[in-house]
Structure 1
Amino acid sequence: MDKRQLTDVLQTHHADAFLWATHCCQYDQEEGKEVLQQAYIKILEKKAIYKEKATFKTWLFSVIRFTAIDYLKKKKSFESLEHVKIGVEDPPYEVTTIDYKEILKKLPERQHQVLLLAFYHEMTLAEIATITGLHIGTIRTHYERGKQSMRNLLVKQAL
C-alpha cells in the first residue's frame, strides 16, 4: 500500500479511530487526540506495518490500542470510570429515556470494551480478539456476560 492509499484509508476511518482512541484513553478527548496522532506517526514512519492478515480497521484499532497502553503507562494516570463521560457528545434530541451510558459504566471494563466494539464499531468477535490480544473464547465469554449484565440492569431499571 503506497502512502497516498494509506492516507486515503486513514481518512476514511478517522472518525471511528478517534472515538476508539478516546475510549482507550478513558474518554479524555485530548489524550485521545494525542494517542491517535502517535498511532498515525507510527504508521506513516512504518513502525507499524499493515500485513493484510485482518481488515485494515481491525489492524488500525489494534495499533491505536497498543499506542494508548504505552501512552498511559508513560503518563501513569488512570482515572476511575465514575468520573468518565461516555461518548463524544450527546445527540441534540432525546432518543430514549434509558440512559445506556450509565448502564455501560456499571459493566466491568472488559465487557464494556467488547460491547462497545461489537455494537458501536460493528466489529466481529474475531476482530475484537485481534484488537484486544485475547483469545476468541475469552471475547465470546465477555460478550455474552456483558449482554446478560446489560439485560439484568435494564430490567432492574424498568422496575
Structure 2
Amino acid sequence: MNEKSVHISELFNQFHKDVYHFALYFTNNQQDAEDITQETFLKVMKNLHQLKDSQKVKTWILSITRFTAVDWIRKQHLRRVFTKALSNKSYEADMNSRSVIGKENWEDLQRALIKLKPHFRSVIILRGLNELSIKETAEVLQCSEGKVRVSFHRALLELKKDIRLKEGWESYDRS
C-alpha cells in the first residue's frame, strides 16, 4: 500500500477511539490505555508500508492494538496493580446515584474481564463491546472464525459463571 494514500493523521482521527476503548477495556486503566494507544499508532506509522489491503485497515490496527496491550501487560505486571487500583477508588460525595451505579457496573465488568485469559478478554471486547463481526474479530486475532465462535461462547460462560458467583447463585448452578 502506498503511504501517500493513507496519512497517519487520518488513520488516527478515524480509529483512535476504537484503539483507546479496546485498550481501556483490556487494561481498566486510563493512563495505560492512553500509552497503548500512543504506542499502537507509533507502530502503525512505522509499519504502514506492510498494510496490503486498505479495506482491512481497522482490523489491522486493532490487531496491532491487541498485541501492544498484551505486551504492555507482560512488561508492566499490571495484574497486581489492578487489584490495588480498584480497592483504592473513592467516589465524590456529590455524585448522584445514577452515576455511581454506572461506575459500579463498569468496575464489575472490568473485574470480570480481568479474570479472563487474554484471548477470551480480547474476543469479548471485540465481539461483545466493539461489536465486530466474527470475520473481523478473526482477522484482528489472527485465528479462524471457528475459534472466535468457540472462544466467544466459552468467554461468555466464564463471565456468566463469575456473575453467578458474585450474586450468590453458585449453589443453584452446580451439576
TM-score by length of 1: 0.69
Indicate conservation of the 8 Å contact 1:58/1:131, yes or no. yes
Larger Rg: 1 or 2?
Answer: 2
* Structure with the higher fraction of residues in helix conformation: 2
Percent identical = 19
Q: Which amino acid aligns with 1:135?
A: S
Q: Show the counterpart of 1:141.
A: 150
Q: Show the counterpart of 2:82.
A: 83
Paired residues in the alignment total: 153
Could you tell me how far apart the structure 2 residues matched to 1:119 and 1:38 are? Answer: 24
Match of residue 109, structure 1, among 110, 118, 128: 118
The change in CA–CA distance for 1:37 and 1:139 in structure 2 (over 3 A counts) is same
Could you tell me how far apart the structure 2 residues matched to 1:126 and 1:49 are? Answer: 21
Could you tell me how far apart the structure 2 residues matched to 1:4 and 1:48 are? Answer: 10
Indicate conservation of the 8 Å contact 2:28/2:110, yes or no. no
The change in CA–CA distance for 1:123 and 1:34 in structure 2 (over 3 A counts) is same
Determine whether 1:94 maps to 2:95: no
Q: Which amino acid aligns with 1:29?
A: Q
Per-residue CA deviation, residues 20-49 of structure 1 (Å, 9 max, x unaligned), is 23455x344334333322332333344553
Indicate conservation of the 8 Å contact 1:103/1:150, yes or no. yes
Q: How do 1:38-77 residues align onto structure 2 when only pairs under 5 Å count?
A: 38-47=39-48, 49-52=50-53, 55-69=56-70, 76-77=75-76
Indicate conservation of the 8 Å contact 1:42/1:48, yes or no. no
Q: Show the counterpart of 1:30.
A: 31
Shift of 1:142: 1.2
The change in CA–CA distance for 1:117 and 1:137 in structure 2 (over 3 A counts) is same
Shift of 1:13: 1.7
Could you tell me how far apart the structure 1 residues matched to 2:50 and 2:100 are? Answer: 41
Could you tell me how far apart the structure 1 residues matched to 2:127 and 2:80 are? Answer: 20
Could you tell me how far apart the structure 1 residues matched to 2:71 and 2:104 are? Answer: 38
TM-score by length of 2: 0.64
Could you tell me how far apart the structure 1 residues matched to 2:58 and 2:34 are? Answer: 18
